[in-house]
Structure 1
Amino acid sequence: MDRLRAINYFIKVADLGGFTAAAAATGVPASSISRRIQDLETELGVSLLHRTTRVVRLTELGEFYLEHVRSGIEALDYAQDLIKDRAASPSGSLRITATPGYGRLLLLPAIKELRRKYPDLVVDVELTDQLSDLSGNEVDIAVRATANPPDRAIARKLADEDYVLTAAPAYLNQYGLPDTLSDLEKHRTILYRAPGRIIHWQADTDGGWVEARTRPAFICNIGQELVAEAVSGTGLALVPRWGVRNQLANGSLKAIALKDANLSLTRSPSPGIYLLYHQPKYRLNKIRAAVDFLLDHLVAQPD
């Protein structure tokens, strides 16, 4: 019996909750996966899975076995990667996930340069708001907006997630410059749509947090479109400063400061944009090269 293959099948069934899902993920018939796990159970002399027509779940001993073999398989995979990584030039597959707005605007252009420098790297990028587990082997590097980076990951700050109220000079010439929070009620605004809801602006005032009243003129779930609308003169936009750094520098957008409030998209502590990875993986040539390159190209310089 190929014990290592059987263990990998067992882990996949446990993670995905059934033979059919495991078969789809591995490209191996469900019947073959089931037989290999049965062989493993025979060798161990215990049942690892409860099988019914509707669901497959771990036995108590199956849960115990999974906990111990998973770390062993991950250690084997890591050792395999280290041996394969002896080549001088970084190569192989590199999996990166990132928050969509920052990913589209800043990360993807940097990755294009990374691939140009290291043509043997195969970069697999997913732009998503879903959090990925760095502890396994599914993701090598994550770029996330968070106020509390995970303790078990190395977190390198790329930028502050501070928000700037901004508008095009042409819009301000036509409608005037808002000076106070109440002035916003007279202005057209551009709002961000998150999954399931519209994000309304929050104002930190001397009296505490309040929701800013505005007259939305455009709403979209793509940050770059909000910036483009602001540049075209549609209205006021509240966006991360890193998202409009170029527009503020070239004068196509103007930053606006209210006298009586600081605006944000959240009442929580302001997050930052972090590059996250696990320290053991940094020993891999491809991870080290990518992390160092992205930090060099993405860490925000003081204005």
Structure 2
Amino acid sequence: MSNDVSLVALRLFVRVAATGSFAAAARQHGLPASSVSRHIAALEKALGQRLLYRHTRAVRLTEVGEQYYQTVREVLDTLDIATEQVQGAATEPRGLLRINAPVAFGRLHVAPRLAAFQARYPDIETELTLTDAFIDPVQEGVDIVLRVGVLRDSSLVARKLADQHFVACASPAYIAEHGRPRTPEELRLHNCLVYKGSRGVQRWYFRDPNSHLFRSHEVRGNLRSNNAESLREAALQGQGIILFPTWLIHDDISGQRLTSVLEEWEASGEPEPQGIHAIFPENRLRSSKVAAFLTHLQQAIGEVPYWDG
């Protein structure tokens, strides 16, 4: 097996190991699944070791395969970064940049920034995936993962792009009909439209200016959804009160389609401050295309985010 073929086989092996699927690796590399299987079989023959257990519904690593995968993945990442740096020494950043972001945030604040970014860096090809489920950028082969909310402990590098602020609000029509809550306790008298995601029902937290602690307040209403924009639309129709980040509803508030309530209290969807972060593997710190995109996005958001301005 030639060195070129070996490199292709190694890349395919890493994708199969990360996704647990020959078909997924084939789709990512634009190859038929049978071709991926042949490359992996040739690699195992050359090594004299079985790397994968093949089952009808899944593929998993052998003990030897797990050790080999960890080493090969690091080597390929290092090779890709080294190649990018050599190419970038004489040219602008180039190559494929894979970005993952939450659905609503990506649609509202990432996708609209890509045209200007790619006009500035025409040699960068961008692949944007939107999902509200957290993904591991190492396993999925993603360069940058954008996440909103509380940042969990991780071995990944995180760069804070902005704080995340929440606002409770309703349409002027709802307030005219049902009145304005004067305290968080009075929310129990109102129809609250609540987000329910993979972690369950989102709780509503408030703290007054004289306190450092957020308190949870029980709310209920006639609509729950795992899609924030559906709840926002219901609020615009006068159905009830919502609690969402300013990046989602700032246009509606500035356009007076929604009116904030309980302004004297600081609101939150968690009992602790939240942020918007870019998360990536440590070796991506040396990637010029990653650095270029983060700089572009940070400049677009601003030191004070435009949705909080």
Q: TM-score normalised to the size of structure 1?
A: 0.78
| Alpha-carbon distance between aligned partners in 2 of 1:142 and 1:91, rounded to the nearest angstrom | 19
CA 1:78/1:258 → structure 2, altered by over 3 Å: closer, same or farther? closer
Q: Which deviates more from structure 2 when the two are superposed, residues 202-211 or residues 94-103?
A: 202-211
Residue 83 in 1 paired to residue 89 in 2? no
Gaps of 5+ in 2: none
8 Å Cα contact 1:134/1:140 also seen in 2: yes
Match of 2:231 in 1: 226
Match of 2:218 in 1: 212
Q: Which deviates more from structure 2 when the two are superposed, residues 119-128 or residues 147-156?
A: 147-156
Q: Residue deviations 1:9-49, cap 9 Å, x none?
A: 44344444465665565555666555555554454444445
User: Which of 97, 101, 104 lines up with 1:98 in the alignment?
Assistant: 101
| Alpha-carbon distance between aligned partners in 1 of 2:135 and 2:38, rounded to the nearest angstrom | 31
| Alpha-carbon distance between aligned partners in 1 of 2:256 and 2:54, rounded to the nearest angstrom | 65
- Percent of aligned pairs with the same residue? 32
8 Å Cα contact 1:166/1:238 also seen in 2: yes
One-letter identity of the residue aligned with 2:261: I
Deviation at 1:144? 0.2
User: Which of 149, 165, 168 lines up with 1:165 in the alignment?
Assistant: 168
Which of the two has higher C-alpha Rg? Answer: 1
| Alpha-carbon distance between aligned partners in 2 of 1:208 and 1:282, rounded to the nearest angstrom | 35
8 Å Cα contact 2:18/2:140 also seen in 1: no
Secondary structure of the residue that 1:188 maps to in structure 2? coil
User: Where does 1:1-303 land on structure 2 (aligned, <5 Å)?
Assistant: 1-2=1-2, 3-17=6-20, 22=25, 26=29, 28=31, 33=36, 36-49=39-52, 57-86=60-89, 88-135=91-138, 138-148=141-151, 152-195=155-198, 197-199=200-202, 201-202=204-205, 209-216=215-222, 218-257=223-262, 263-266=267-270, 268-278=271-281, 280-299=283-302, 301=304, 303=309
8 Å Cα contact 1:107/1:298 also seen in 2: no
CA 1:89/1:197 → structure 2, altered by over 3 Å: closer, same or farther? same
Deviation at 1:296? 0.6
CA 1:154/1:183 → structure 2, altered by over 3 Å: closer, same or farther? same
Q: Residue deviations 1:225-258, cap 9 Å, x none?
A: 4334434433222111232333334444332227
8 Å Cα contact 2:84/2:94 also seen in 1: no
| Alpha-carbon distance between aligned partners in 2 of 1:227 and 1:161, rounded to the nearest angstrom | 17
Gaps of 5+ in 1: none
8 Å Cα contact 1:96/1:124 also seen in 2: yes
One-letter identity of the residue aligned with 2:174: Y
One-letter identity of the residue aligned with 2:218: A
Q: TM-score normalised to the size of structure 2?
A: 0.77
| Alpha-carbon distance between aligned partners in 2 of 1:50 and 1:194, rounded to the nearest angstrom | 34
8 Å Cα contact 1:181/1:212 also seen in 2: no
Name the count of aligned residue pairs: 300
CA 1:252/1:137 → structure 2, altered by over 3 Å: closer, same or farther? closer
RMSD: 3.7
Deviation at 1:113? 3.0
Deviation at 1:165? 1.2
Q: Which deviates more from structure 2 when the two are superposed, residues 85-94 or residues 232-241?
A: 85-94
8 Å Cα contact 1:157/1:299 also seen in 2: no
8 Å Cα contact 2:98/2:127 also seen in 1: yes
| Alpha-carbon distance between aligned partners in 2 of 1:297 and 1:39, rounded to the nearest angstrom | 48
Deviation at 1:139? 1.2
